Structure 1
Amino acid sequence: MFGFYRFASVSPVLKVADTAYNTEEIIKSAKEAASNGAAFVVFPELCITGYTCSDLFHQELLLQNSFNALLKIAGAFADSDVVLAVGLPLRMFGRLYNCAAFLQHGKLIAVTPKIHLPNQREFYEKRHFSSGRDLLRGAVGGSVGAIRCYFDGVGEVPVTNYFTVKCGALGQNGSECAGSEVRVGVELCEDLWTPVPPSGELALAGANVIVNLSASDALVGKRDYRRNLVLNQSARCMAAYVYASAGVHESTTDMVFSGHLMIAENGSLIAESKPFSRETEIVYADVDVERLNMQRLSEGSFQDFDSREIVARAASFDGLRAVEKLQYRFVSPMPFVPGSLESRDQSCTEIFNIQCAGLAKRLEASRSKRAVIGLSGGLDSTLALLVVAETFKLLKRPALEILSLTMPGFGTTKRTKNNAVLLAELLGVELRTVSIKDACLQHFKDIGHDPQKLDVTYENVQARERTQILMDVANGEGGIVIGTGDLSEIALGWSTYNADHMSMYAVNCDIPKTLVRHIVHWYADNSLKFSADAKTAMELKKVLYDILDTPVSPELLPADDNGQIAQKTESILGAYEIHDFFLYHFAKYGATPQKLLFLAKYAFAGKFTDEEIEKALTVFVRRFFTQQFKRSCIPDGPKVGTISLSPRADWRMPSDASFADWLK
């Protein structure tokens, strides 16, 4: 469902050269994985015999027994659609190869010989095996497509490292369906460690899942290095990478193996085993293949590669069982926000530096005498002012060259007004207060609008009056107006056209509301680093914490009877957490509305009701489409993350596109 497939990586208990024992362990663990919903199960390199058999690989009995074991494993899954990848030595064309064998429905589907054989230090595979390079390139017999090798009791089997998935009844003559989601590339251990791993070409040819049957020994520091290899290769290939390595029951004559199991998805580790387990270890991951495919359409260089040779040698699986309910996958409810405190600090520092660097360049290029900013006492203008203040330090310019204006209107509360004043004072910037009430009342009179009618005109008149003041003051001071709107507001069009929608440089334009909150929190926690003295730092932290606790509001409608904010944005639109979640998966991965609901209900289980999520999605779809005209002419501003809605960066769409199909 929605392109999710469950993969399992297994390191079974084994006995070196005891194929009967190893066969039973492989069957037992594979059945456990299948019972847990795995559609594809990957075992380590040479797992049927054990990787460390050494010269026993030249024993006829071991070779016969390992092949018979392969047939027995296949037979144990005759009534199952699960795909198994197991390792064993295989004789083909008079040579011995270190192979991955692929089994489904009781049949040997294909075999993949290892290409790169390590033959240095503790490894000497060339003593026993031949490289499969020529077989995979079709050099034997000059064939077009996959080489086929005949095995007794099986028949001819393709030799390939690339697999597609048949559509079953929908396909013609067993061909791959045009919309088939899963395409699998294969590596064996050392293949990954080479300067040009085969998975690179396989990914360019369409493989979105790479499986690696491995036997990588344990050395000091090697686990981290191995993990980085898998993560980096999955990111380069924009693919899932399923890695299974031999465990502690291999021979320890000269080496020890830790049973390292990993499943990565486009640079993110989503499953990993504990090291040196003496029991059979299995890790699972629900891989989002649809997301990988959609990301490849808009990112990467996957369109520039001639893949005909690789595709021509493909073998096919009969089908893979899709996941109906997520179990082995973490879906972050706040995908824009780093998960750990350490990564949050690192990410916030980098984002803040990007904002400051962008603004510094604009101030220098425009030769602006001042930066002018509207300060409301809310989150967005707070972050923008913090960025401006640090940028002026960067440029070695005095804080008093920053001009902040607080412009109280009909909905301004004492809390936000006081916080704006305190923030400006603590940062040492100039603050001016300009009430907009009289000007707005005059404008209502000019256009014949009843000020008692609290409609969109009532609200937008105030927003445009504030922007006019900022622009005119900036002209008079030789400055530029710094925009404060964030990415969430841009996505939802939650701004007044040609008012807070407009500025001369927008420093928050690529930062969603959930992340704005974390950056302000980070700045508050690190206020000592940014302030001249401890007392100022503590006062600044206190003000920032109160701003963080203030409900998000444009304050364009009158306060309630207690003088508190009456117009709360999230009561109108829905929680920004949900909208940012939708934005991330919609804009970055092209997720359908049904998939957005599926993911959101999983991620927000227990926090928001299904009704709240569904209502927010309706709002998101309507506003994202109908408010595109505002995004078509937004000001310049720095891109800081992987999603931007600027028409000059990531997002271009017609302003009059229909959203009917999305609402359906």
Structure 2
Amino acid sequence: MNYGFVKVAAASPHVRVGDCKFNTERIEGQIAIADGKGVQIIVFPELSITGYTCGDLFGQQLLLEEAEMGLIQILNNTRQLDIISIIGMPIVVDSTLVNAAVVIQKGKVLGAVAKTYLPNYKEFYEQRWFTSSTQLTRSNVRLCGQIIPIGANLLFETSSTTFGIEICEDLWATIPPSSALALQGAEIIFNMSADNEGIGKHNYVCSLISQQSARCISGYVFASCGFGESTTDVVFAGNGIIYENGTQLAHSERFSIKEQLTISEIDIERIRAERRVNTTYAANRGNLGRLDPIRIYTEFVNKRELTLTRPINPHPFIPQGAELNERCEEVFSIQVSALAQRLKHTEAKTAVIGISGGLDSTLALLVCVKTYDKLGLSRKDILGITMPGFGTTDRTYLNAIELMKSLGISMREISIKEACIQHFKDINHDINVHDVTYENSQARERTQILMDIANQTRGMVIGTGDLSELALGWATYNGDHMSMYGINSSIPKTLVRHLVQWVAENEIDNTSQKTLLDIVDTPISPELIPADENGEINQKTEDLVGPYELHDFFLYYVLRFGFRPSKIFFLATIAFKGSYDDETIKKWLQTFFRRFFTQQFKRSCLPDGPKVGSISISPRGDWRMPSDASPASWLKECEKL
């Protein structure tokens, strides 16, 4: 299976200006190499058969005939290959010259896309030689003995995707042709360019491509002229750049004197998922009018074994490098702003929060402290309640106490042991039976304490549960599942740890920092089962429900793109290679889908909480699902993996 991926390439071949025979051979060579690597569609730079910098040589009959003969040679020598190639060349149309992108496959010319916007300023003077697509008076032309469609509104449909083409300056237009092509169904845009270099220009070009691919919700493959073009006045760096919906997947080495193929895979299923849920995309299509494109159908491409070259981040909620600090700061700021508004609106006198010494309650407390500081309120009006139970260990207990002391909030300790023992007697439950009743009664007792103290102090109970726990239903219904405001409700577990560490390293005093860093290193546990003989945590969540890094990976692709289990499994085996074997990934993927479906009833009545990222499971916002939906189809596919 190819799981919706289309392998594409941007080529940067050697070129000799005006030497069509040499250029043709270099193009053929790169087509062959790309086909051997499983590339399905390859794009070459602008006017790649002749060279872009021919100047007034474009008026020479010999050059134009040599260009067509070169294309005939490419057709003959690649007719056995499945690959679709997009090649730049000048084409004569009714005694005018068009700067065109010619699409070929298996010895046939499928069509030619004419450049629309011809730059005629500063170092550019294309209108001296070429005619815009807007001035064409016909929709077909004879090329290489074939009658082919020509224009700017061509769409090419393959068995895997639909693509469109624009040429260089078209991208720089106020409304690029690719915008219309995308609304008409193009999922990948190919751009053959002769973009020359200048100080700071490369970053600007990348931003244009990024924004256009995001605006069009598409893939974007950019191939620019390189070494060998004339340097009489300008220099070309040979840029091969591939983006997908605003994210760069691959780029070539700039200013290389070697030929290059920039290869990656565009996830068409991901693009289609984004477009399905983006109602603005559909509305924009309706406003486009009746500009019917010419649709060209390509031949079937034999499926090959898919080898991904694009990286798959095992932690999709966590950005890499310097961006992580920026992300943490932004998320924390969103949480603080959300809580500040809720406190002001409700006129709550206190914020009541249960402090366990674990990650989630720590993050919620840090948000409270920052919010009270921002509002100019006393930290003493934050009521931290630690409620040791049967499974509380010295490590988490002491961390909870030390953190509350160092942060200067009001602190109370209320043991739940005696209340739970009495409750077990009342309902005739054996205290030595450590089942779900034993565990959940402790969670509900803690929630009752928090709610009642909030009533006593005209306060608000701040929820601590995170997105990952809520997705899996790893919360006691009407216990830690409930609060008056769930400040962590859309933050995945894998990000919680980084947020706490970021606060420790950037926003807190040295005394609190030491405690926070120890909390970061503490195993995740609800601590509802008594500790082991050494006083250590005996109930580790990830041993029971599975590694959160796997569940967050599954959650991201299920909710963000609606991917099926087989594709998520395929991506996970790549992302976690060397960390988890296939059977382990399959086991926890089954657990994820089983719990995700059966625990929806808990998510259907969640308290308010801020959305901070691209995913939320609020029943009022991003995720509306019936509590009795069947997981049968998803689990059946998991079994077949």
Moved more, 446-455 or 432-441: 446-455
| Pairing of 1:483-562 with structure 2 (within 5 A) | 483-526=463-506, 530-531=507-508, 537-562=509-534
Structure 1 residue 331 and structure 2 residue 329: aligned?
no
Structure 1 residue 189 and structure 2 residue 161: aligned?
no
Q: Of 351, 355, 379, which aligns to 2:335?
A: 355
The answer for the alignment partner of 1:574 in structure 2 is: 546
Aligned equivalents of 1:461, 1:68: Cα separation in 2: 82
Aligned equivalents of 1:312, 1:338: Cα separation in 2: 39
Q: Write out per-residue CA displacement over residues 65-95 of structure 1, whole angstroms, 9 at most, x where no aligned residue.
A: 1011111112211011100001000011331
Q: Of 617, 635, 639, which aligns to 1:645?
A: 617
Q: 1:152 to 1:520 in 2, by over 3 A?
A: closer
Aligned equivalents of 2:279, 2:31: Cα separation in 1: 35
Q: CA deviation at 1:150?
A: 2.5
Aligned equivalents of 2:354, 2:75: Cα separation in 1: 70
2:312 maps to a residue whose letter is V
| Pairing of 1:444-463 with structure 2 (within 5 A) | 444-463=424-443
Aligned equivalents of 2:514, 2:385: Cα separation in 1: 21
Q: Of 136, 148, 152, which aligns to 2:140?
A: 148
Q: CA deviation at 1:453?
A: 1.2
Q: Which aligned runs of 4 or more in structure 1 are off by greater than 3 angstroms?
A: 156-162, 306-312, 319-324
Moved more, 445-454 or 97-106: 445-454
Q: 1:593 to 1:336 in 2, by over 3 A?
A: same
8 A contact 1:5–1:323 mirrored in 2: no
Q: 1:93 to 1:226 in 2, by over 3 A?
A: same
Unaligned runs of 5+ in 1: 142-146, 168-180, 532-536
| Pairing of 1:61-140 with structure 2 (within 5 A) | 61-135=62-136, 140=137
Aligned equivalents of 1:206, 1:426: Cα separation in 2: 58
SS of match in other structure, 1:286: strand
Moved more, 255-264 or 322-331: 322-331
Aligned equivalents of 1:652, 1:388: Cα separation in 2: 29
SS of match in other structure, 1:314: strand
Q: Of 375, 380, 383, which aligns to 2:363?
A: 383
1:433 maps to a residue whose letter is E
Aligned equivalents of 2:375, 2:523: Cα separation in 1: 34
The answer for the alignment partner of 2:246 in structure 1 is: 267
1:154 maps to a residue whose letter is Q
Q: Give the RMSD, CA atoms, in angstroms.
A: 1.3
Structure 1 residue 392 and structure 2 residue 382: aligned?
no
Q: Write out per-residue CA displacement over residues 567-601 of structure 1, whole angstroms, 9 at most, x where no aligned residue.
A: 10000111000000000011001110001110000
8 A contact 1:39–1:322 mirrored in 2: no
Q: Write out per-residue CA displacement over residues 316-374 of structure 1, whole angstroms, 9 at most, x where no aligned residue.
A: 2223455633331100000000111x101101000000000000000000000000000
Aligned equivalents of 1:578, 1:596: Cα separation in 2: 11
| Pairing of 1:23-62 with structure 2 (within 5 A) | 23-62=24-63
1:336 maps to a residue whose letter is F
Q: CA deviation at 1:501?
A: 0.6
Aligned equivalents of 1:642, 1:508: Cα separation in 2: 14
Q: CA deviation at 1:37?
A: 1.1
Q: Write out per-residue CA displacement over residues 207-229 of structure 1, whole angstroms, 9 at most, x where no aligned residue.
A: 11000000000000001101111
1:562 maps to a residue whose letter is N
8 A contact 1:165–1:318 mirrored in 2: no
Aligned equivalents of 1:614, 1:68: Cα separation in 2: 55
Aligned equivalents of 1:648, 1:641: Cα separation in 2: 16
2:554 maps to a residue whose letter is F
TM-score by length of 1: 0.94
Q: Write out per-residue CA displacement over residues 361-409 of structure 1, whole angstroms, 9 at most, x where no aligned residue.
A: 0000000000000000000000000000000000011111100000011
2:351 maps to a residue whose letter is A
Moved more, 381-390 or 314-323: 314-323
Structure 1 residue 421 and structure 2 residue 401: aligned?
yes
8 A contact 2:154–2:293 mirrored in 1: no
Aligned equivalents of 2:270, 2:625: Cα separation in 1: 21
Structure 1 residue 253 and structure 2 residue 232: aligned?
yes
8 A contact 1:162–1:310 mirrored in 2: no
Aligned equivalents of 1:596, 1:482: Cα separation in 2: 34
1:460 maps to a residue whose letter is N
SS of match in other structure, 1:301: helix
Aligned equivalents of 1:302, 1:69: Cα separation in 2: 41
Aligned equivalents of 2:512, 2:373: Cα separation in 1: 17
Q: CA deviation at 1:442?
A: 1.1
Q: CA deviation at 1:628?
A: 0.6
TM-score by length of 2: 0.97
Aligned equivalents of 2:241, 2:153: Cα separation in 1: 20
Structure 1 residue 165 and structure 2 residue 157: aligned?
yes
The answer for the alignment partner of 1:616 in structure 2 is: 588
| Pairing of 1:404-415 with structure 2 (within 5 A) | 404-415=384-395
Aligned equivalents of 1:557, 1:162: Cα separation in 2: 66
Aligned equivalents of 1:166, 1:109: Cα separation in 2: 12
8 A contact 2:101–2:192 mirrored in 1: yes
Aligned equivalents of 1:59, 1:378: Cα separation in 2: 76
8 A contact 1:160–1:314 mirrored in 2: no
The answer for the alignment partner of 1:628 in structure 2 is: 600
Aligned equivalents of 2:297, 2:144: Cα separation in 1: 21
8 A contact 1:162–1:315 mirrored in 2: yes
Q: Write out per-residue CA displacement over residues 100-148 of structure 1, whole angstroms, 9 at most, x where no aligned residue.
A: 000101111100000000000000000000100254xxxx36xxxxx22
8 A contact 1:48–1:88 mirrored in 2: yes
8 A contact 1:160–1:315 mirrored in 2: no
SS of match in other structure, 1:14: coil
Structure 1 residue 225 and structure 2 residue 204: aligned?
yes
Aligned equivalents of 2:63, 2:205: Cα separation in 1: 30
Aligned equivalents of 2:496, 2:154: Cα separation in 1: 44
2:72 maps to a residue whose letter is L
8 A contact 1:336–1:514 mirrored in 2: yes
1:593 maps to a residue whose letter is P
The answer for the alignment partner of 2:639 in structure 1 is: none
Aligned equivalents of 2:300, 2:504: Cα separation in 1: 53
Q: CA deviation at 1:561?
A: 1.0
The answer for the alignment partner of 1:171 in structure 2 is: none
Q: 1:645 to 1:13 in 2, by over 3 A?
A: same
8 A contact 1:112–1:186 mirrored in 2: yes
2:100 maps to a residue whose letter is C
Q: 1:378 to 1:218 in 2, by over 3 A?
A: same
Q: CA deviation at 1:538?
A: 2.3
Aligned equivalents of 1:235, 1:499: Cα separation in 2: 42
The answer for the alignment partner of 2:19 in structure 1 is: 18
* Number of residues of Structure 1 aligned to a counterpart in Structure 2: 633
8 A contact 2:155–2:162 mirrored in 1: yes
The answer for the alignment partner of 1:293 in structure 2 is: 272
Aligned equivalents of 2:302, 2:254: Cα separation in 1: 29
2:213 maps to a residue whose letter is S
The answer for the alignment partner of 1:176 in structure 2 is: none
Aligned equivalents of 1:448, 1:391: Cα separation in 2: 44
Aligned equivalents of 2:65, 2:257: Cα separation in 1: 28
Q: CA deviation at 1:309?
A: 4.5
The answer for the alignment partner of 1:597 in structure 2 is: 569
Aligned equivalents of 2:212, 2:607: Cα separation in 1: 37
Q: CA deviation at 1:262?
A: 0.1
